[in-house]
Structure 1
């Protein structure tokens, strides 16, 4: 196997679905700026997701409107005059 092929910052990271506050802990090398305390009392890097398997329509079987950062409101105000 080649040396230095895999990233060196492979560690546990908490992923949080912002649409329904579902969180899960897994290993990743994603860059993060925030940290959070997990259920075991340890502090881990936090990565915020807009959608995950708990909120995606394919997995839930329901069409769910996910409005992150007011996208729908911005759209409505932009085209309200027309």
Structure 2
């Protein structure tokens, strides 16, 4: 690796304020705000809107789309698959 061209890689706290969830990891992101972590040290904190604690896919609260109903609605509106007009 070339020296002095890469950003500093340091511990950072990411905080999902909507879910009340925080985690400590390493990142090149910077932040002006700091927070005291469980180990008593100060770390930069980055607030995020969505994390694994609040994302519907990871929480199991994802809505399932009714694809069969959509297909039937399309067929009622535009006819069955065999009635498509031929290309000129």
TM-align CA RMSD: 1.7
1:21 aligned to 2:20? Answer: yes
Counterparts of 2:20 and 2:55, CA distance in 1: 13
Q: Which has the larger helix fraction?
A: 2
Any unmatched runs of 5+ in structure 1? 64-82
Q: TM-score, normalised by structure 2?
A: 0.64
Query: Which of structure 1's runs of 4+ aligned residues deviate more than 4 A?
Result: none
Number of aligned residue pairs: give it: 63
> 2:78 maps to which residue?
none
Q: Which runs of 5+ in 2 are unaligned?
A: 63-88
Other structure's SS at 2:58 match = helix
Considering only CA atoms, is the larger Rg found in Structure 1 or Structure 2?
2
